[in-house]
Amino acid sequence: MLRPRPLGVPSLSRTRFWHPASHSRSSHLAGATSFNNTTVPSPDAKLSRPPTNPTPPPLSLLALPTLIRSYLVSAVSASPILLTPSLWILSLLAHSKLPFLQVEHNRLLHYIIKKTIYAQFCAGETPPEVQRTATQLKETGYRGIVLNYAKELVFDKAAPAKQTRDDEAKDLEDWKQGLLKTVKLVDSGDYAALKFSGAGPSVVQRLIGKLPPTTAVSQATKEICDYAKDTGIKLLWDAEQNAIQPGIDRWTLDLQREYNRDGVAVLYGTYQAYAISTPQLLAQHLAIAHREGFTLGVKLVRGAYMGSDPRHLFWASKAETDRVHDRIAEALIRKEWNETLSPVEEQDAQKPTFPNVSLVLATHNHESVRKAVAIRQEQSRKGEELIDLSYAQLMGMADDLGTELIVAGNDACAATRAKTELSKTYKYTAWGSVRECLTYLLRRAEENQGSLSRTREGRLALGKEIRRRLLASLRWLDH
């Protein structure tokens, strides 16, 4: 735990203006409304009550260069006039065959990209750079990181690639080594995010056919899982396109059967709330976990493939997706079935014990997070058992939400002396070369164009904090 240090003279460049642990306040949600008999904040409410004695806002945890860069990225994302050409430029740099447009050959271009968009979203090109980024995030107050290797395979199921056995073996070995490097870059308690599609076209074809993994794929995967379990690292298997997602669900569930024992989740599958099939699929997996005695690891997201997957697979509106997401989250946090997440077998509804579950709530939606926080605080006050729950946001996005969670979690621990952390918050980031990360960033931007444009609340908070610091510095200069 970092020691609190005095605020002293206002500084525009210091890494932190304060540390949340040094400002203990009672945990309370302002502007609360009723949500299924739970006190839940309104969308405009903050996670913590405004203190009696003024203290710096949560965003004061961040350095000014980070705030300014985040504000500019948010402003570009919110403007179609700016976002469209920005994505075109990003695509050009990621795929250009011209040497002067390739970042690995153009040192000036490499420097500009690395100091701007790369620094905003990516952890580093080398292990020391990644570890430095992780340390900075943890010193800010985040519980840890979710690290993803940026190199990935983009496949075309309409024209599957033909491979020799040597090609398949090389792709698999490269995938395994890349993931082993990734899990070795994070600390115990951190997460590593993985994709099966990175293992090559032959693995993708098996997933499309809903076939079991080959012996070689199983051995490579278990080597990664064994290392993670032995070192206290958790693995998130990311969702992918619908063509291969059913195969991924089967493979990850089989791995959870083996590794998620003794009440501890090592592996997590990803469940996308915008898919109509998700409530039933999750209920089936919960029933299997209950019968077979393992903990189900759930990473809950809204979804990222609406632009590429068939539209009929999704709920008709965003409001419907939001409702399903929040009701699933509530059922898991409370360990109680509800009308959205209902048991697949009639007798399951009569069982007093809900299946063991660990949850990663990966969302930038303020209202969803505030509902989850309200439920957790209510459970803590009543002395109820808490599930293992973590929150995650992309590094470089939703900084206002992430820092609010840090402050709320520290305040709650200080007020209740709770042994279980109420709001473990992580930042999801990628590592790899600038070229590899450009491709990664382009795909994330294309998948999340809708959410990129809905950043008004965060942008306003960033602008307010930048103004606060400038005014504080001007007042100090006047003295």
DSSP string computed for 319-378: HHHHHHHHHHHHHHHHT---SSS--SSGGGGG-SSPPPEEEEEE---HHHHHHHHHHHHH
pLDDT at position 415, please? 61
Query: In one letter, which amino acid is 293?
Result: G
CA distance linking residue 268 with residue 357, whole number of Å = 10
CA distance linking residue 383 with residue 333, whole number of Å = 14
pLDDT at position 338, please? 93
Length of the chain: 479
Q: Give the pLDDT band (50/70/90) at residue 354.
A: confident
The listed range with the strongest mean pLDDT (52-56, 197-201, 257-261, 304-308) is 257-261
Q: What is the DSSP letter of 4?
A: P
In this predicted structure, the answer to whether residue 377 has a pLDDT above a threshold of 50 is: yes
| Beta-carbon-side half-sphere exposure of residue 18 (alpha carbons within 13 Å) | 21
Asked whether the whole model's pTM tops 0.85, one would answer no
Could you tell me the CA-to-CA distances from 372 to 35, 328, 383 in Å, in that order? 11, 11, 16
pLDDT at position 418, please? 52
Whole-number percent of the chain with pLDDT over 70: 79
Average pLDDT over residues 9-20: 39
Average pLDDT over residues 373-398: 93
The listed range with the strongest mean pLDDT (127-141, 301-315, 402-416) is 127-141
Dihedrals phi, psi of 86, to nearest 5 degrees: -65, -40
pLDDT at position 20, please? 40
Average pLDDT over residues 396-402: 90
In this predicted structure, the answer to whether residue 183 has a pLDDT above a threshold of 70 is: yes
pLDDT at position 2, please? 43
pLDDT at position 164, please? 84
Average pLDDT over residues 240-246: 92
Q: Give the pLDDT band (50/70/90) at residue 167.
A: confident
In this predicted structure, the answer to whether residue 465 has a pLDDT above a threshold of 80 is: yes
In this predicted structure, the answer to whether residue 324 has a pLDDT above a threshold of 90 is: yes
pLDDT, one tens digit per residue, over 140-157 is 999 999 999 987 655 554
In this predicted structure, the answer to whether residue 22 has a pLDDT above a threshold of 50 is: no
Average pLDDT over residues 76-90: 81
CA distance linking residue 33 with residue 24, whole number of Å = 25
Note whether 360 and 268 are within 8 A (CB): yes
In this predicted structure, the answer to whether residue 232 has a pLDDT above a threshold of 80 is: yes
Per the structure block, which two tokens stand in for 99? 């040497």
Q: Give the pLDDT band (50/70/90) at residue 420.
A: low
pLDDT, one tens digit per residue, over 216-225 is 999 999 999 9
